[in-house]
């Protein structure tokens, strides 16, 4: 595992992912004792994501596991996969069925990307469909030029 972490540390974005995983491990009381397994599993799986990605968004097949499919789309769109992985991990812990209705403004967030209910142009069904939500999120990130629409992007230092 140390060899894996050292090789990942050479990437400037790895510290964000490592820090986020550490926060998640501490937060998951039952998993603290399994932290070595968690790191090894998550980073070994994520390290293969760039190899899965293809050159075009439309050529990625739907038969990939959810996380691999999302990361392949992100890579094909030219977005930083480390940033996206960190944001999704922070927002939903890769659970596409999560609904957060604890926002102070009475809005709610849905799905893998935790898309807020203020986005009326997107149906709730789409927000809960990881493929539809990923397509919408990639377009939003490209349109905005940043990840700042997501609270977790601010939490992990990607926005001011």
DSSP string, 55-120: SSGGGS-TTS-HHHHHHHHHHHTT--HHHHHHHHHHHHTT-TT-EE---TTS--EETTTTEETT-T
Residue 143 has pLDDT above 90, yes or no: yes
What's the pLDDT score for residue 59? Answer: 53
pLDDT tens per residue across span 108-141? 999 999 999 999 999 999 999 999 999 999 999 9
- pLDDT of res. 152: 94
Q: What's the confidence (pLDDT) of residue 157?
A: 92
DSSP annotation of 31 reads G
pLDDT band, residue 60 (cuts 50/70/90)? low
**Per-residue pLDDT, 42:** 53
pLDDT (tens digit per residue) in 10-39: 444 444 444 544 444 444 333 333 434 544
Residue 82 predicted with pLDDT over 70 = yes
pLDDT at 62: 74
85-100 pLDDT, tens digit per residue, is 999 999 999 999 999 9
pLDDT of residue 128: 97
Whole-model pTM: value is 0.66
Query: Going from the N-terminus, what domains does the chain have, and what CATH number goes with each?
Result: 48-155 (1.10.530)
Q: Is the pLDDT of residue 56 over 70?
A: no
């Amino acid at each position: 595992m140390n060899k894996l972490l050292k090789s990942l540390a050479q990437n400037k974005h790895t510290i964000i992912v490592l820090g986020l995983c550490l926060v998640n491990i501490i937060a998951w009381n039952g998993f603290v004792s399994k932290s070595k397994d968690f790191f090894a599993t998550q980073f070994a799986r994520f390290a293969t994501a760039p190899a899965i990605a293809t050159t075009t968004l439309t050529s990625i097949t739907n038969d990939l596991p959810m996380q691999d499919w999302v990361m392949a789309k992100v890579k094909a769109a030219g977005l930083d996969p480390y940033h996206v992985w960190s944001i999704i991990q922070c927002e939903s812990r890769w659970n596409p069925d999560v609904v957060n209705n604890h926002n102070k403004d009475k809005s709610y967030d849905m799905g893998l990307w935790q898309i807020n209910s203020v986005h009326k142009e997107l149906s709730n069904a789409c927000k809960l469909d990881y493929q539809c939500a990923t397509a919408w999120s990639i377009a939003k990130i490209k349109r905005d030029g940043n990840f700042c629409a997501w609270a977790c992007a601010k939490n992990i230092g990607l926005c001011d």
